[in-house]
Structure 1
């Protein structure tokens, strides 16, 4: 099997929907990955082992003209699986990187609304930080995985760090600027807060998803719609978030009579040449790929300082 995934299946932008590829590493658990991150599905081939490699990494393969790492998803999730020579390779691309995940099987693609995706509860605390959300489909539960978190676990340097923002310096004029940030991962909220404070931004309001952030904006509108900049001067949003994703959140802002003047920066792992048009269609002022927080700060300066 060697299947190129058709790109652009979900053509509309800002519909608050996504397509999820169902996959697994045993017969019990169903996991999911956003189809926007998947480039290809292929049969496994022999990998080239690496000396002193991370335990999650099986090795390297050559896929046409590229050398790509292969990550064993079962090991990354701490689940047993011994069938190294079987299964499926899922070729992914996000954060401007291509990585292969070795899984046991892939199944169908589900089109779902972010409103249907629930935040992980305490029953999934053993996977804390590795889940974006939970999807209930008839007789099964699909766990939507945070694949970026897996990569950061393997190599922390590919994540958001203070070192990335230090070259931008800290500017006093940033301290009074009011920033609204929608990000579902508590780990990333903490990292973004620490790095933006390092850069001099002090007035930061964080929200767990687009719906929570939108509700806050509506409260501001009802209270003092003529003085919006007293409360928020710029919006930063992730894309993948339960209840309301960042594209739909951005679309709502840009279609609103008052909020449309707010600069919106999409800060997401899903910024690539093939997906950038989605942010453009909903009116985002800028799109920055994680973890380039130094570029995020530079863009914030350009839009509001």
Structure 2
């Protein structure tokens, strides 16, 4: 799917595909969508995960189908007349999600997307990354990465890459992390700590990270407090592209390396990140490559 917003840079906006499962309205970032196809009866796979409905082959690739109704523990409608497959691409993986209808595309600002509190989204169980009110309804933006990794854990962070690095020297260079998923933030922090980085500052979105950066800048201690920034792209309040733009447009901050670490790093998004001045861009499974990129960027910054 091609939409104009993907060509814009740092607007803090996104396009949400609104769809239905049962009588509920949900959303997915258009940037994750490869195509939308009519429902067809899938080929079941024996002994697969209960949420895997089967597979289909729209072209030359076999794609697994995840039944969102089962994942979300909703009652079955039984009627497939308006059902669709949303075929996604993230974390270097194509996956189809079976939904009960597509409503349309909504252009929204990340600033208008509320982050669910702990009563809705427990760290290890919730699958909502944001909630937005449109007209008289609430649209829940789902954490599709978590849905997939819960079904197939090997699609998540490749933490084994850190173990392969063995014992490394401790490094006190401060690293600021902007990541809205509490679970992923902890996993990233744990992996970086195992890789030798002691001084890690975590924030839950771009707005919180930007506030910290401005505080350090205004106090004249930015280089003491931040040696590198790691940011996700999709975050409520302020996304990673907007954060990158603000950092690289600020003469007092632009020397700080920014690494975009996201499930959305594809060819189109890589061009966008490059246009904003990101120093490195890596797909979320590749935690080992993230460590290697941070090593090089911090060495380069210290040599300047």
2:40 to 36, 45, 51: 45
Q: Does 1:157 align with 2:151?
A: no
Q: Among residues 151, 172, 191, which one is paired with 1:195 in the alignment?
A: 191
Match of 1:60, SS state, is strand
Residue-pair matches, total: 297
Q: What TM-score, normalized by structure 1, do the two folds share?
A: 0.93
1:125 shift after superposition: 4.1
Task: Determine helix, strand or coil for the equivalent of 2:7.
Answer: coil
Within the candidate set 271, 276, 297, 1:303 is matched to: 297
Work out the CA distance in 2 between the residues paired with 1:123 and 1:196.
29
Matches within 5 A, 1:101-116: 101-116=97-112
Q: Which SS does the other structure have where 1:74 is aligned?
A: helix
Shift of 1:175: 2.0
Instruction: Could you tell me which runs of 5 or more consecutive residues in structure 1 were left unpaired when the two chains were aligned.
Output: none
- Among 49, 67, 75, the alignment partner of 1:54 is 49
Question: Aligned-pair distance for 1:170?
Answer: 3.6
Contact in 1 for aligned 2:121/2:128 (Cα 8 Å): no
Kindly indicate whether the alpha-carbon contact (under 8 Å) linking 1:236 and 1:264 is maintained by their aligned counterparts in 2.
yes
Distance (whole Å) between structure 1 residues aligned to residue 285 and residue 95 of structure 2: 16
Cα drift, residue 83 of structure 1: 2.9
Contact 2:22–2:77 under 8 Å retained in 1? no
8 Å CA contact 2:6–2:269 kept in 1: the answer is no
**Which secondary structure state, in structure 1, belongs to the residue aligned with residue 50 of structure 2?**
coil
- Distance in 2 of aligned mates of 1:17 and 1:207: 20
Cα distance change on mapping 1:8 and 1:64 into 2, 3 Å: farther
User: Whole-Å Cα distance in 1 between the matches of residues 263 and 121 of structure 2?
Assistant: 24
Correspondence 1:274 to 2:271 = no
Q: How far is the alpha carbon of 1:161 from its aligned partner?
A: 4.4
- Cα distance in 1 for partners of 2:181, 2:239 equals 13
In the alignment, the residues of structure 2 paired with residue 176 and residue 159 of structure 1 have an alpha-carbon distance, to the nearest angstrom, of 27
Give how far 1:13 is off. Answer: 1.2
Partners of 1:162 and 1:194 within 8 A in 2: no
Matches within 5 A, 1:127-138: 128-138=125-135
Q: Does 1:67 align with 2:66?
A: no
CA contact (8 A) 1:161 1:191 kept: no
- TM-score, normalised to structure 2, is 0.94
Structure 2: unaligned runs, 5 residues or longer:
300-304
